[in-house]
Amino acid sequence: MNKDVVYSGFWERTLAALVDNIWIAILVDAILLVLYGSTTINVDDYISLLLRFAVPMLLIVWFWACHASSPGKMMFNLTIVDADSLNQVSKRRLIIRFLAYVVSFVPLLIGFIWMGFDNRKQGWHDKLANTVVVKNEY
């Protein structure tokens, strides 16, 4: 473990995730409102389901790939890096990280709560993608 590295903890990452969920929800709701005149998801309508679930994934993974962060993480000067080298993470591993949110979420959010007890503040999704979230040095 590099002693100069400051890992981002549970509460800071939770606030960053809240910011991200708010702007994504507003964006997706605006798109649904323009297309359908409503923000309600119709389970028989694959386009609204795709917008509600695929658009957030594409946006977040795009931000992670281009900026090693998301708007919420940027607010707190946080960066997603490789857990071993502290270098940039591949797009493939960022997609794995996003999909692994399900693993962190489904069992009563334990995979997210785990960040509060882990030495490097990794959630299960971080462990599966071999990533850490660190504070930038500025």
Asked if residues 127 and 93 have their Cβ atoms less than 8 Å apart, the reply is no
pTM: 0.89
The CA dihedral of 24, 6, 128, 74, to the nearest 10 degrees, is 20
Q: Which runs of consecutive H residues, i.e. helices, occur in the chain?
A: 10-36, 46-67, 71-75, 91-99, 101-105, 110-113, 124-129
Asked if residue 40 has pLDDT above 90, the reply is: no
The CA dihedral of 99, 102, 103, 107, to the nearest 10 degrees, is 180
Task: Round the average pLDDT of the chain to a whole number and report it.
Answer: 92
Q: Output DSSP code: residue 90.
A: P
pLDDT in tens, 63-108: 999 999 999 999 999 999 999 999 999 999 999 999 999 999 998 9
Q: How confident is the model at residue 138 (pLDDT cuts 50, 70, 90)?
A: low
